[in-house]
RNA sequence: GGGCGGAUAGCUCAAUUGGGAGAGCGCAGCCCUUACAAGGCUGAGGUCACAGGUUCGAUCCCUGUUCCGCCUACCA
């Protein structure tokens, strides 16, 4: 029928590219394939243009694709909206590094040329991650791809900035901010990573002016002492009471500084006296402000991380760390160094380049987020946005309730330029969406634009509506906002998710998405975070290359249990590739056996196994749909695995081989094989799009549409409870014989005779009607079936007791009595133990009185069963023993 | 310092509202049975981290302890 039949096994490379191109060509990723469906939208968390696909992206993209393919198949007008983020600092860094190689820098190039250069870079390399997402099978609508610096999105940014400014929610202020001396820009609080590091606590003597004695202070940053403007003590601290108001000689300078009181000083820490450097420490800035008059601020470290002129001629121009050494040496030689202690404390680093942050005082733009946060908290409280797993809402609330103003200006060139201009003549500040040609106040020409750009996250915060066309009232915006699900990792919950909720509520009047699904972080096999520096990074594309995108995707989905990190293991991918191979071969078998038999319907199905598998399929489909509904990706994939392999392949296909020999049933069975495969492929498709398309195209009944992508996702399939019930004894009988064979080591080729004593007439009837199946699957020659036929138990027989039946296998000649006695003995031991436990429970009056009736009844039934089983086993053992004696 | 999560088979992990724990891989035995050795059949393997408490009954609920992650915080 197809070339598939000739291919021995599944080879992803030959099919993946082909089908992706096919989907693109047919425009199947567009929501318009279901024009009348209910809208469902996912906006991608835009990866950095500089980025290349890592495990986190792979997981993130897989889950989004599973959702969007599933919804699309359900008939939704599903849109997965892709795009990238201009990643201001990161991208600028990349291009600056290139320039450095060319022995030049951005300042020599000039702003305009530099920006051109970055665009050029973006054009050449920026699309890499998009390409990689395609390799993963992402069914995003690329015709709608967006970039945060697109015209439309820039328009959104300006609109938002101006509106917030006009409402007083954006303001400019000069105060301490986190400064990265390497990136030469301000950072928001979130962009600072704190890490515990071992440092040194240096104790320095500050002599009292014009008198004897000194105050001892401790610091981890001795170089900042050059900018000290006070020493603070707790007003309640008896040791220092008298000193408050006195002056100290600040060593290494010719300045005098006062001793001041501030309640924030911990008496227990260090010496209880703290040096105060308002220009370089957030706490100290606060202390300085609380004094009246406020303390002076002396900046001794510059934007480049080097000491300024104010540090004094000896230190000016030195790097802050060189200066630290020199200051310590100088203090030592002056005898003002008391001691140095090892000290572990947490230090802030730039999240982009890991350089130690320096708090510096510079004018920056801020968003006053508290009013925005209030509504965003409400939205989650009321469930208008659901965070899944729910546990993360606690973190969300904690952060939002203590939120601080957001520093949004960055001193770099690559990004959205702040829409603020300053008149060179009158100093008027102009905040506008459109570049002003003249000063509206004095008419002065060409006001100068603020040199800074906005934090990249400022534009990302608008992503769910700016990508849909806002501020234009586009049809997309109308249909797809609010979007359905946001899929992301927790590490950008604050950076991005919270801010989108705030901005969405503010500018769209509604939440940006209904559900936020927070997935795990992908770690290495030892549970370590993957990082380049640790060298434990697993490249997703290498995995795709080795095992195929389908196996990789399925692995990620199967790993994606809620609330737990993923320890990635290549072994698992291998396992799931075997799974796909199983599917491949099952399909091959079915196509070989069904030929042109596409026609037919469920009405032609009369045999029990077919009705059974259809019912099982129905149940699996329901569970899979429910799991996806609740974002339990691992449950959905495990269920698929279980059904396809252990129910469909292990049982149904094996049973069908016998069924097909019966001409009266063959047609129905062929239909059922094809139909079930068709359904399984559809159920699997969101997880493994490529191989399912390949198989569906070659095997599924013709004329059912152009692609599995747009086929209906299985749902509400018929159930046959009686078929499931009747299959029980058949499966049990086969298993019972197999168990005996396996345990006694009867060779697979050797046929056995089987006697089945069923406990009910119905079971016996069913079994009688399925003798050929049992013969084949159990490797039996002859079968005797009946009820109450214990007396037919042969002398030399192996016995197996199941729930509704018992099985005897005469093994004269085959049987080693010792082996069988051993097996029965072990079985008896297990049964006895279980029975004891059960009986003890039932003898406990309190249990019988207090436990629910159903539980007690269940326990009683179990007891009876176990008693039967035990008696049976004992009989068998006794008989074998007597035989042993006879023989012996 | 505060908060969150985890500890279950040799390994990686499940268990939807408390009634004696499952899967995959690995392991052992037997098989090239004509879709599949990337396979089939069978089997072994667990004091559900530790100690208390609630309950007729606890892997599950409560308290405490230990060990590991992570988030967060202005102790110089």
Identical fold at A185-358 and A570-719? no
For residue A778, what are its two tokens?
């159990």
Beta-sheet pairing, A256-261 with A230-233: parallel
Query: Looking at residue A704, what is its pLDDT?
Result: 66
CB-based contact A618:A719 (threshold 8 Å): yes
Please give the ipTM for the structure prediction: 0.93
Query: Looking at residue A856, what is its pLDDT?
Result: 84
The 8-class DSSP code of residue A7 comes to S
Q: What is the pLDDT of residues A813-866, one digit of tens each?
A: 666 777 788 888 888 888 888 888 888 888 888 888 888 888 888 888 888 888
pLDDT exceeds cutoff 90 at A158: yes
| Residue with the larger pLDDT of the pair A709 and A210 | A709
| Start-end of H helices in A685-718 | 689-699
β-sheet with A483-489: strand ranges across: A386-388, A513-519, A483-489
C-alpha–C-alpha distance, residues A848 and A850, integer Å = 6
Q: What is the mean pLDDT of chain A?
A: 89
Angle ∠(A466,A79,A703) on CA atoms, nearest 5 = 160
Query: Looking at residue A266, what is its pLDDT?
Result: 85
Question: Whole-number Å distance, CA A863 to C1' B55?
Answer: 23
β-sheet with A780-787: strand ranges across: A780-787, A752-758, A805-810, A797-801
Strand segments (E) across A716-779: 752-758
Nearest nt by C1' to A284 Cα: B74
Q: Which nucleotides on strand B sit less than 7 A from a protein beta carbon?
A: 3-6, 12-15, 19-20, 23-25, 29-31, 33, 35-36, 38-44, 55-57, 68-76
pLDDT-based confidence at A879, cuts 50/70/90?
confident
Q: What is the pLDDT of residues A72-100, one digit of tens each?
A: 999 999 999 999 999 888 899 889 889 99
Burial classification of residue A380, based on how many CB atoms lie within 10 Å of its CB (0-12 exposed, 13-18 middle, 19 or more buried): buried
pLDDT exceeds cutoff 60 at A336: yes
pLDDT exceeds cutoff 50 at A1: no
Strand B and A275 CB separated by under 7 Å: yes
pLDDT exceeds cutoff 60 at A5: no
**Was domain A570-719 assigned CATH 1.10.287.3510?**
no
Residues of chain A (198-227) having a beta carbon less than 7 angstroms from strand B: 217-221
Q: What is the pLDDT of residues A197-242, one digit of tens each?
A: 888 889 999 998 887 888 999 999 999 999 999 999 988 888 888 8
Nearest nt by C1' to A580 Cα: B38
Domain A185-358 sits in CATH at 3.90.740.10
Q: What is the pLDDT of residues A734-764, one digit of tens each?
A: 999 999 998 888 888 888 999 999 999 999 9
Strand B and A270 CB separated by under 7 Å: yes
Nearest nt by C1' to A849 Cα: B56
Nearest nt by C1' to A568 Cα: B12
Residues of chain A (387-416) having a beta carbon less than 7 angstroms from strand B: 391, 394-395, 398-399
pLDDT exceeds cutoff 70 at A597: no
For residue A876, what are the CA distances in angstroms to A216, A413, A745, A759, A793? 90, 87, 19, 18, 10
Question: Whole-number Å distance, CA A731 to C1' B21?
Answer: 24
For residue A319, what are its two tokens?
């790097």
Angle ∠(A294,A297,A298) on CA atoms, nearest 5 = 155
pLDDT exceeds cutoff 70 at A674: yes
Strand B and A9 CB separated by under 7 Å: yes
For residue A163, what are the CA distances in angstroms to A103, A108, A433, A667? 43, 36, 9, 70
C-alpha–C-alpha distance, residues A54 and A541, integer Å = 8
Question: Whole-number Å distance, CA A31 to C1' B52?
Answer: 59
Q: What is the pLDDT of residues A397-429, one digit of tens each?
A: 888 888 889 999 999 999 999 999 999 889 899
pLDDT exceeds cutoff 60 at A53: yes
Burial classification of residue A306, based on how many CB atoms lie within 10 Å of its CB (0-12 exposed, 13-18 middle, 19 or more buried): middle
Q: Which residues contact A742 (CB under 8 A, 6 or more apart)?
A: none
How far is C-alpha A870 from the geometric centre of its chain's CA atoms?
A: 50
Strand B and A782 CB separated by under 7 Å: no
Query: Looking at residue A604, what is its pLDDT?
Result: 82
Strand B and A819 CB separated by under 7 Å: no
Strand B and A491 CB separated by under 7 Å: yes
Residues of chain A (362-381) having a beta carbon less than 7 angstroms from strand B: none
pLDDT exceeds cutoff 80 at A134: yes
Residues of chain A (325-354) having a beta carbon less than 7 angstroms from strand B: 345-346
Question: Whole-number Å distance, CA A486 to C1' B61?
Answer: 33
Query: Looking at residue A526, what is its pLDDT?
Result: 62
| Start-end of H helices in A595-720 | 608-629, 633-641, 654-659, 663-684, 689-699
Q: Mean of the pLDDT values across residues A773-801?
A: 90
**Half-sphere CA count of A213, side-chain side, radius 13 A:** 7
The 8-class DSSP code of residue A213 comes to -
Strand B and A858 CB separated by under 7 Å: yes
Domain extent listing, chain A:
185-358, 570-719, 731-887
Beta-sheet pairing, A247-249 with A230-233: unpaired
């Amino acid at each position: 029928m197809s070339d598939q039949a000739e291919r021995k096994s599944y080879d992803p490379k030959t099919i993946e590219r082909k089908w992706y191109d096919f989907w693109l060509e047919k425009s199947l990723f567009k929501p318009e394939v279901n024009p009348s469906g209910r809208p469902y939208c996912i906006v991608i968390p835009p990866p950095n243009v500089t980025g290349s696909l890592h495990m986190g992206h792979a997981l993130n993209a897989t889950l989004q694709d599973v959702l969007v393919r599933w919804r699309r198949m359900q008939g939704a007008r599903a849109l997965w909206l892709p795009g990238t983020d201009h990643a201001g600092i990161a991208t600028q860094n990349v291009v600056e590094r290139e320039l450095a190689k060319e022995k030049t820098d951005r300042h020599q190039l000039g702003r305009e040329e530099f920006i051109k250069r970055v665009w050029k870079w973006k054009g050449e390399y920026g699309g890499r991650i998009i390409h990689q997402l395609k390799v993963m099978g992402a069914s995003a609508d690329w015709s709608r791809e967006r970039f945060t610096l697109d015209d439309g999105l820039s328009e959104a940014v300006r609109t938002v900035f101006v509106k917030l400014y006009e409402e007083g929610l954006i303001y400019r202020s000069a105060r301490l901010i986190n400064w990265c001396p390497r990136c030469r820009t301000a950072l928001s609080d979130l962009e600072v990573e704190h890490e515990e590091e071992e440092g040194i606590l240096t104790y320095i003597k500050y002599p009292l002016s014009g008198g004897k004695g000194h105050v001892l202070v401790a610091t981890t940053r001795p170089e900042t002492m050059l900018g000290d403007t006070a020493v603070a003590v707790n007003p309640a601290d008896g040791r220092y009471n008298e000193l408050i108001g006195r002056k100290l000689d600040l060593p290494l300078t010719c300045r005098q500084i006062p001793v001041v009181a501030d309640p924030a000083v911990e008496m227990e820490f260090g010496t209880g006296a703290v040096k105060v450097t308002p220009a370089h420490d957030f706490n100290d800035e606060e202390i300085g402000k609380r004094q009246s008059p406020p303390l002076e601020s002396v900046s001794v470290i510059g934007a480049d991380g080097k000491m300024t002129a104010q540090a004094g001629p000896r230190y000016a121009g030195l790097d802050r760390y060189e200066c630290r050494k020199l200051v310590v040496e100088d203090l030592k030689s002056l005898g003002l160094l008391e001691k140095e202690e090892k000290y572990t404390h947490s230090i802030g680093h730039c999240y982009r380049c890991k350089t130690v942050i320096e708090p510096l005082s510079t004018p920056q733009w801020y968003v006053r987020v508290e009013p925005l946060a209030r509504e965003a908290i409400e939205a989650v409280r009321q469930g208008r946005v659901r965070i899944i797993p729910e546990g993360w809402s606690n973190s969300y609330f904690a952060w939002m309730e203590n939120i601080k103003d957001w520093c949004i200006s960055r001193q770099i060139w690559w990004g959205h330029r702040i829409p603020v201009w300053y008149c060179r003549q009158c100093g008027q500040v102009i905040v506008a969406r459109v570049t002003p040609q003249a000063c509206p106040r004095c008419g002065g020409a060409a006001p100068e634009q603020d040199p800074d750009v906005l934090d990249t996250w400022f534009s990302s915060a608008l992503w769910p509506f700016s990508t849909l066309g806002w501020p234009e009232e586009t049809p997309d915006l109308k249909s797809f906002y609010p979007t359905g699900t946001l899929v992301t990792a927790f590490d950008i919950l604050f950076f991005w998710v919270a801010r989108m909720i705030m901005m969405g509520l503010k500018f769209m009047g509604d939440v940006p998405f209904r559900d936020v699904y927070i997935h795990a972080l992908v770690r290495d096999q030892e549970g370590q975070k993957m990082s380049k520096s640790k060298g434990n990074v697993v490249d997703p594309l290498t995995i795709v290359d080795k095992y195929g995108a389908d196996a990789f995707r399925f692995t990620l989905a199967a790993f994606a249990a809620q609330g737990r990190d993923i320890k990635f293991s290549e072994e698992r991918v291998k396992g799931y590739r075997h799974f796909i191979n199983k599917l491949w071969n099952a399909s091959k078998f079915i196509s070989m056996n069904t030929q042109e038999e596409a026609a037919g319907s469920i009405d032609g199905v009369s045999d029990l196994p077919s009705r059974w598998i259809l019912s099982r399929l129905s149940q699996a489909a329901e569970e899979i749909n429910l799991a996806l509904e609740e974002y339990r990706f691992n449950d959905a994939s495990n269920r698929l695995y279980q059904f396809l392999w252990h129910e469909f392949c292990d049982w149904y296909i094996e049973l069908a081989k016998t069924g097909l020999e019966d001409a009266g049933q063959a047609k129905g069975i062929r239909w059922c094989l094809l139909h079930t495969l068709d359904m399984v492929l559809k159920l699997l498709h969101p997880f493994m799009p490529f191989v399912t398309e390949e198989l569906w195209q070659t095997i599924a009944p013709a004329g059912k549409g152009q692609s599995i992508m747009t086929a209906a996702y299985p749902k509400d399939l018929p159930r046959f409870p009686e078929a499931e019930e009747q299959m029980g004894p058949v499966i049990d009988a086969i298993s019972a014989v197999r168990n005996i064979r396996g345990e006694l080591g009867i060779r697979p080729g050797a046929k056995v005779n089987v006697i089945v004593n069923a406990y009910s007439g119905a079971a016996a009837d069913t079994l009688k009607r399925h003798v050929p199946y049992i013969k084949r699957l159990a490797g039996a020659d002859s079968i005797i079936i009946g009820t109450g036929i214990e007396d037919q138990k042969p002398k030399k027989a192996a016995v197996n007791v199941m729930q509704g039946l018992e099985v005897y296998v005469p093994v004269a000649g085959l049987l080693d009595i010792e082996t069988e006695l051993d097996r029965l003995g072990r079985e008896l031991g297990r049964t006895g133990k279980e029975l004891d436990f059960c009986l003890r429970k039932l003898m406990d009056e309190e249990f019988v009185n207090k436990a629910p009736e159903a539980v007690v009844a269940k326990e009683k039934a179990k007891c009876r069963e176990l008693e039967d089983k035990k008696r049976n086993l004992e009989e068998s053992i006794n008989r074998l023993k007597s035989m042993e004696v006879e023989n012996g």
